[in-house]
Amino acid sequence: MAHHTSITDKPITSVDQDKLKSKRYALALTEFISHSDTPMTVGLQGEWGTGKTSMMYMLREQLKAKDIATSWVNTWEYSMFRGAAETTPAVLRGMLEKLITSCEAEGQWTLKDEGKQTMRKVGKFFTRLGNQAIANRTGLDLMDAASGDNADVVQAEIADVKQDIKEVISKLLDDPANRYRRVVFFVDDLDRIPPTDAVEVLEALKNMFDIPNCIFVLAIDYEVVVKGLESKFGEKTEENEREFRSFFDKIIQVPFSMPTGAYTIDELMQDKLAGMGIQIPDDYKDEYAKVVGYTVGFNPRSLKRYLNSFSLLRSLRDADFRDDPEAFDGDQPDAKDDLMLFSLLGLQISYPKIFRFLVQDIQYVDWEPGMAEKLSVNLNEVAETVSKFGDGMKGKTDEVWEQIIYGFCNRDLGAGKRDPYLKAKWESIVDLLNLLRDTFSITEGKKEEDVETLYDLLGRSMSFAAITNVDDDVAGKSGMEKRGKVVRFDSMESKYTFLKEDPSINQKALPLWRSVGEMFEAFVAERDCAIKVTASYMPLNKGRDKVAKLHNCKAKKLIIKGHVYHPVGAPAPEGNPHIEFKEGGKSIPDQWSFTLYSAEGLPRLREVIANRIDELG
């Protein structure tokens, strides 16, 4: 079966296509609209991409089956290539034209030529209004138009036109030759046109279409109405908010907020990914759903953009592996890599500032006070604040890295102001990073956490997720470049120089780290090995075989950590007071972890690594 590499952002047009389980809302609204008193205006409220158009299509489908005439106008289309003054008359004229077109398509426009002539007369009135507004360089305001120099004439003409519309619709519904008993006008994309234009359209609908047996379903975002009314009421405050709400309530009798919190977003996600040939393993379905909740949330349009980006970056990663397997240490990307890439991309899309810090130092579990200082976070103030939290909240801020995230998201930007978005989202960021930690570094039944596996997966996916991130400034550091797969330094010495300037690094342990790095370089010269100096760790390979890897010195103690590869099942070598070796366990059965406490342990480490190279021939 052929798969697409992307998904389009088209609304659904039938309840049969519903993957969000919003059908029940569509059916309930259909029943309400079918039997409500008229005239009535229903406002589908929700921000960009929450499924308002899809809901309207489902409503139209159901209403047509109930002998109800419908008219659909997309206000954005009527605003294209038109000035603000022309938009409202064009929309009003379009509502009537679309009603005729819709009825004719169903063979139910039973009025004779007289009805069409009346509609043309009304249409010409709206056209003339638009032309007059252009000539006067003003917008359309029916109330203002009725209070000008020719107030009496204009008022009479408006009344006549309104009566004409009423009579035509009444005759259509009363005609026994068709099945219609009421009309529903759908007005879409009001939140895509300029806010002041949207307000004009709303006012015109109220003034011109206040007609029995007519129901209006509007797709609108309340915040757009607020912006459109600021010229009348000023910027919204607690004192004048009632004026904004009163206008909205005057126009819309039944507000309906899109039920994004009830969407089954995981089913939509799995369906769209499957259409792109990407299957989510059963073991990770809950994790994918949680990642979406922590990042882009339950906005269907945002999710589709997210999945398209994921599909692209996943394809690029797999193409890079086919081209250069050694860049991935020979390990083909698997389900773990997919979940990590998906998670990092979500972090990059939703929290680019936090993502930037993770790019600079992916070993977030080991972040230390130096990182807080680098980000201008006062850990003492954070500790004082979180001490007042309840037990549940304290559990999300009991580690230094969590306190750094909390402190940055709640930092003072000046004059007591804080970033409202990050302030509201700090828990989601902490929850996302803890999800990755729990999934990839904590193994059930294992006494010691294996953060190195977490960091390895982060390193493999980080630079792919960073491709679409304009805030990534790590590659600008001297001696570094991004080669599409990982961020690399041109030499061990350039990385050492970089680490010396990083306050999150244990500077006292850095000389010992450098000694291990120099040992790796000696193996390169003496034993035909190779090293890659990446942002998070430095692997030592012989051909395509893995030998060892050295991690950055992030520990609080004066120690250096890393791994030495070995055949599965081989017992860990003996250490000494200066170096300790441990078996990797189930999560990394082919690696011994080592902890180097002092330079006196270097000879033993050299011996173990040399034996590994000898085994490889």
pLDDT per residue as tens digits for the range 487-508: 567 777 888 887 787 766 778 8
- State how far the alpha carbon of 511 is from the alpha carbons of 232, 243, 514, 515, in Å: 67, 67, 5, 6
CA-to-CA dists, residue 543 to 268, 531, 546, 617, angstroms? 44, 10, 8, 10
Nearest-angstrom CA–CA distance, 496 and 301: 44
127 — pLDDT class (breaks 50, 70, 90): low
pLDDT digits (tens, 9 = 90+) for 452-464: 788 888 888 887 8
Three-state SS letters, 485-541? CCEEECCHHHHHHHHHCCCCCCHHHHHHHHHHHHHHHHHHHHHCCEECCECCEEEEE
Mean pLDDT of 209-214: 86
| pLDDT of 357 strictly over 60 | yes
Predicted local confidence at residue 556, as pLDDT:
61
Query: pLDDT at position 476, please?
Result: 37
In which band, very low, low, confident or very high, does the pLDDT at 128 lie, cut at 50, 70 and 90?
A: low
Confidence at 536, pLDDT banded by 50, 70, 90? low
pTM score: 0.68
Per-residue model confidence (pLDDT) at position 83: 66
Confidence band of 573 (pLDDT split at 50, 70, 90): very high
**Mean pLDDT, to the nearest integer, of 536-553?**
85
- Position 480 scores a pLDDT of 42
Q: What average pLDDT score do residues 345-363 get?
A: 89
The pLDDT-based confidence of 600 (bands split at 50, 70, 90) is very high
Region of poorest pLDDT, from 96-105, 450-459, 465-474, 487-496: 465-474
Residue 571 Rama label (left phi>0; alpha psi -120 to 50; beta): beta
Q: What is the predicted pLDDT for the residue at 175?
A: 85
| Other beta carbons within 10 Å of 617 | 7
CA-based end-to-end distance of the chain: 45
Which of 73-87, 198-212, 341-355, 375-389 ranks highest by mean pLDDT?
A: 341-355
Please tell me the predicted confidence (pLDDT) of residue 206: 83
Q: What is the pLDDT of residue 54?
A: 93
Residue 156 has pLDDT above 70, yes or no: no
The answer on pLDDT for 402 being more than 90 is yes
Mean pLDDT of 377-384: 89
Sign of CA dihedral 316, 317, 321, 324: positive
Closest by Cα among 189, 164, 173, 187 to 103: 173
pLDDT above 70 for 146: no
Distance CA 71, CA 188 (A): 11
Give the pLDDT confidence score for residue 450 in this predicted structure.
74
What six digits make up the tokens of 568? 């599965």
For residues 135 and 314, which has the higher predicted lDDT (pLDDT)? Answer: 314
What 3-state DSSP class applies to 252?
coil
Tell me which residue of 492, 493, 512 sits closest to 553, measured CA to CA. Answer: 512
The residue type found at 401 is: W
Question: pLDDT per residue over 233-276, tens digit each?
Answer: 888 888 888 888 888 888 889 999 998 877 877 888 888 888 88
pLDDT at 540 over 60: yes
Question: Which H or E run includes 42?
Answer: strand 40-45
Mean pLDDT score of the chain = 82
The confidence band for 602, taking pLDDT boundaries of 50, 70 and 90, is: very high
Mean pLDDT, residues 42-61: 91
Residue located via tokens 């000008």? 148
Q: Which residue has the higher pLDDT, 71 or 556?
A: 71
Nearest to 93 by CA among 204, 194, 193: 204
Pick 413 or 439 by higher pLDDT: 439
CA distance to 75, 549, 558, 577, 593, per residue, from 596 (Å): 68, 13, 9, 9, 10
Q: pLDDT-derived band of residue 134, with 50, 70 and 90 as boundaries?
A: very low
**pLDDT for residue 217:** 95
Check residue 209 and give its pLDDT: 80
The count of C-alpha atoms lying within 13 angstroms of the C-alpha of 610, restricted to the half-sphere facing its C-beta, is 9
pLDDT at 135: 41
